[in-house]
Amino acid sequence: MDDKLPAEKLLNSAQIEEFQRNGVLVLRSFYDFSRDIEPIQRAIYSLIGVLIAKYKVPVSRPAFAPSTFDVGYQQLIAANRAYGAELYDAVKQIPAFVRLVAHPLHDRLFTELRPGSIPAVAGGGYGIRIDNPNEDRFRANWHQEYPAQLRSLDGLVYWSPLVAVTKDMGPVEFCPGSQVEGAVPVYTRDPHNSEKTGAYSLTLKGEAELLSKYPQVAPLTSPGDLVVIDFLVLHASGHNRSQRSRWTMQLRYFNFLEPTGQSHGWRGSYAAGVDFRTIHPELCVN
């Protein structure tokens, strides 16, 4: 954690304009890698070791190194995919990760992008994705963050990788500029993926038409980088066709002052046990 926060602004005016135009902004080396990121990688390495020992998976691992912190994980999920689910639930409780969620730079960044706001951490809106090779069940369809998270219409996803994301790992795809659509109505089931449930099942009304209106970008990022995503910009998971899982962190901040959020009491969505249809029936097509 940074005890000597820079006094100057985090963003220059070109970056602020880029974010306002595109609804997405990549900030290279935003975090202090060894202070903020490596402790999270180290803790994940340890937890993989705990599960390898717990389930007696026959694998011997080299010592920790940041670029290979997940060594042994493919063997762990090959032994039993459920071990991966256990790890997925565990890693969001790593103290170094929870510290990152509340990093002082996050509310500073929020107020630079949303002047006059009162920033808030979206409860339950943070975690570490593990997108395994060739596994589609947990891929995010094209979506906006708002229906999946609620809290307030004005919000930012902070997305940051724990591995160097290559093209074959399926970087997140974005439609720059699409935040101007406002909140788009959704179907609460995915006709092509009946195994998807909850937030994963939401499908945009008129998806093909919407997507045809905007370009698509899929920036490649490395540990320490931060991608800031407007709650209303269209984005989707890529397809991981590599040999390694794509480990990425996401956390969400919202604005206590935004009127729609205030009107529903900053309620959360699926992760908070709320069916968003009860809060926004008008955004629900079926």
Ligand X SMILES: O=C(O)CCC(=O)C(=O)O
- When asked if residue 250 is in the footprint of ligand X (CB under 6 A), the reply is yes
Tokens 């290979």: give the residue: 68
User: Which residue sits closest to ligand X, CB atoms considered?
Assistant: 237
36 binds ligand X (CB under 6 A): no
**Is there binding between residue 240 and ligand X (CB under 6 A)?**
no
Nearer to ligand X, 52 or 150 (CB): 150
Show Cβ contacts of residue 29 under 8 Å, excluding neighbours closer than 6 positions. 224, 225
Total chain residues near ligand X (CB under 6 A): 11
Distances (CA, A) of 162 to 131, 138, 151, 198: 12, 18, 26, 26
List the one residue out of 228, 163, 249, 225 whose CA is nearest residue 29: 225
Please count the other Cβ atoms lying within 10 Å of the Cβ belonging to residue 275: 11
Among positions 145-174, residues that touch ligand X (CB under 6 A) are 145, 157, 159, 172
Instruction: Rule CB under 6 A: say whether 181 interacts with ligand X.
Output: no
Q: Which residue bears the tokens 């997108």?
A: 131
Min dist. Cβ of residue 118 to ligand X (A): 22
237 binds ligand X (CB under 6 A): yes
Select 245 or 250, whichever has its Cβ closest to ligand X: 250
The secondary structure element, H or E, covering residue 13 is: helix 13-22
Alpha-carbon distance 48 to 73, whole Å?
6
Site map (CB under 5 A) of Fe ion, residues 120-159, x = contact: -------------------------x--------------
* DSSP β-ladder status, 173-174 and 186-187: unpaired
Q: Which amino acid does the sequence have at 192?
A: H
Comparison of 75 and 132: residue with beta carbon closer to ligand X? 132
- Closest to ligand X by CB, 76 vs 202, is 202
Residue 283 three-state SS: helix
Residues that bind Fe ion (CB under 5 A): 145
Residues that bind ligand X (CB under 6 A): 129, 131, 140, 145, 157, 159, 172, 235, 237, 248, 250
